[in-house]
Amino acid sequence: MRKALGAKLGAKMQGLSTFRATQNNWFSSDGREQNIKDYASLLSELVWKRQTSFLAAAVLAAFYFDAVSVFATYALVALTEFLDVDLGRKSKSWDGQDPVVGRKIFKRIVINTIISALAISVFIVNMALQQSSTGHFTPLFFLFSASVFAAMYNSQLIGILLLRLTFYGFAFLFIAVFDLVRYAPPLKSQIWLEFFTIIFVLYFIVDISIKFSLRHKERLEQMKQIKEESERAKAALEVKAQFLATVSHELRTPLTSIIGALELVKNDTLTSLPESLKPIINIAARNGKRLAALIEDLLCMQKIESNEMEFDFVSIDANDLLCETVDSTSGVASKLGIHVTIEPCAEACSIIGDRDRLVQVLTNLLSNALKFSSYGNTVKARVEALGTRIRISIHDEGLGIPAGSKDRVFGKFSQVDSSDVRRIGGTGLGLYISKQIVERHNAIIDYVSELGVGSTFYVEFDRGTDSHN
């Protein structure tokens, strides 16, 4: 058995490492595929934002400069937008895996950037050339805005950003040097001051571009780490679930035969069992049953957590459901000397649910009530209609639960810590499982309790359409 288990886990681990290797491969070129996709999709997303500002700039420039040349250069800029939109569409359909497609998209990004940066530079330089005065506030400010926009939104691909900024840099320098050449001013002149200011602004633009790019890289790195962490956690959970399921299954079969054999020995009247052995056999049989209950709970929990539990929703009469549950526990109740009463709902009270699962929930509530009651106590099982809701409750006169224990009562493997509970025993999974089942029914499970007085556990459902009338 151990060998089989080892082999299963070995195969699982191998599968995991292959999976991880594929993941690493995807990020092999420091996330360039993702960068290309991000860049291209942002290009097409921002098309209207860019176009609105370009058009506004063109209309403004056309009013003060030669309209024909302004709109001619603007048309070139608009044309590059179409190319960018088309590129964005292509990159969206690329799954980031095929490097040939990736290289093609990247090549087109380079070409589009060259055309677009050239068109914008020509559009702006054209304005500067038409100005006879120095200063060139408008074209320089347009150029500055275009550079900041690029630094903010094109930082995914630093090479491409630098390519675009190189064109803008040349345009900046051209405008500055053009005046120096045109007027050959002395060093004290304002034209030199403007030239040095432009150099300063250029440095500033390059600096913020690098900062934006580094921040983008950091963000990508964080995303990569989060993704890896979540994959690791998912894989660990899968291994845990598989391990739990395998161990439980491997234990269940031999345990069933052990319990069967012990019961046989216990009840066999033909072979006389020595008196001294009877208590030992009884303890062994009892513990075997406890172990079997724990395994059942573990399997059930694993099924719920891996979403493998199937529910067969049908219309159920809540009174029938409760009677069935009480009947199935009547043997235990009479053995413990506890009287169980049923108070059915007078009117029709259908709910929608999975019959077997709901019997499991109610059996758990009822067996807890019996477990924590004393000899001679009464347990009251009740169905009541509360407007549009149907409530099934189990009330006992037992130990009660201390205030503030709700998380522990409905928690996994948790029991409210008291010596009585330890004496009574249990897996601490029953109410956790019940809560999961009830929540899959869009219903609620809760309790009210007073220490030393008793507890009432209840489940509350939406009233279902009544198929019994």
Residues lying near ligand ADP in the complex (CB under 6 A): 364, 368-369, 372, 396, 398-399, 401, 409, 415-416, 421, 426-432, 455
Least distance to ligand ADP, CB of residue 429, Å: 6
CB of 430 to ligand ADP, least distance (A): 3
Cα dihedral 72, 76, 82, 84, rounded to 10, equals -150
Minimum CB distance to ligand ADP, residue 349 (Å): 23
User: What is the DSSP pairing of strand 339-343 with strand 378-386?
Assistant: parallel
Q: How many CA atoms lie within 13 A of 464 on its CB side?
A: 21
Instruction: Please state the φ and ψ torsions of residue 402, each to the nearest 5 degrees.
Output: -60, 150
Pick 40 or 431: Cβ nearer ligand ADP: 431
- SS3 of residue 369 by DSSP: helix
Nearer to ligand ADP, 58 or 399 (CB): 399
Q: What SS3 state is found at 249?
A: helix
- Location of structure tokens 């405008």: 175
Would you say 116 or 368 has its CB closer to ligand ADP? 368
Nearer to ligand ADP, 125 or 340 (CB): 340
Minimum CB separation of residue 286 from ligand ADP in Å reads: 15
**Closest separation in Å from C-beta 365 to ligand ADP:** 7
Q: Which is nearer to ligand ADP, 87 or 301 (CB)?
A: 301
Cβ neighbours of residue 464 closer than 8 Å, sequence gap 6 or more: 315, 316, 350, 351, 352, 353
Residues 396 and 377: their CA atoms lie apart, in Å, by: 8
Distance CA 433, CA 440 (A): 11
Instruction: Provide the 10 A C-beta neighbour count for residue 79.
Output: 12
Q: Minimum CB separation from ligand ADP for residue 373, in Å?
A: 8
Residue number with CB closer to ligand ADP (93 or 419): 419
Q: Quick one: 386 exposed, middle or buried, by C-beta within 10 A (0-12, 13-18, 19+)?
A: exposed
Task: Return the number of the residue (121 or 455) whose C-beta is nearest ligand ADP.
Answer: 455
Residue 77 contacts residue 119 (beta carbons within 8 Å) = yes
Got the DSSP string for 2-53? HHHHHHHHHHHHHHHHHHHHHHHHHTTTTTHHHHHHHHHHHHHHTHHHHHHH
Question: Whole-number minimum distance, CB 258 to ligand ADP, in Å?
Answer: 22
Closest distance of CB 426 from ligand ADP, Å: 3
| Structural element, H or E, at residue 427 | none
In the complex with ligand ADP, which residue's Cβ is closer, 139 or 426? 426
CA distances from 54 to 58, 59, 77, 150, 165 (A): 6, 9, 8, 14, 17
Which residue, 160 or 409, has its beta carbon nearer to ligand ADP?
409
- Of all residues in this chain, which one has the CB nearest to ligand ADP in the complex? 426
Write the DSSP string, 41-81.
Answer: HHHHHTHHHHHHHHHHHHHHHHHHS-HHHHHHHHHHHHHHH
Minimum CB separation of residue 283 from ligand ADP in Å reads: 19
Looking at beta carbons only, is 202 or 401 nearer to ligand ADP?
A: 401
Phi-psi category of residue 62: left, alpha or beta, with phi > 0 → left and psi -120 to 50 → alpha: alpha
Smallest distance, Å, CB 377 to ligand ADP? 11
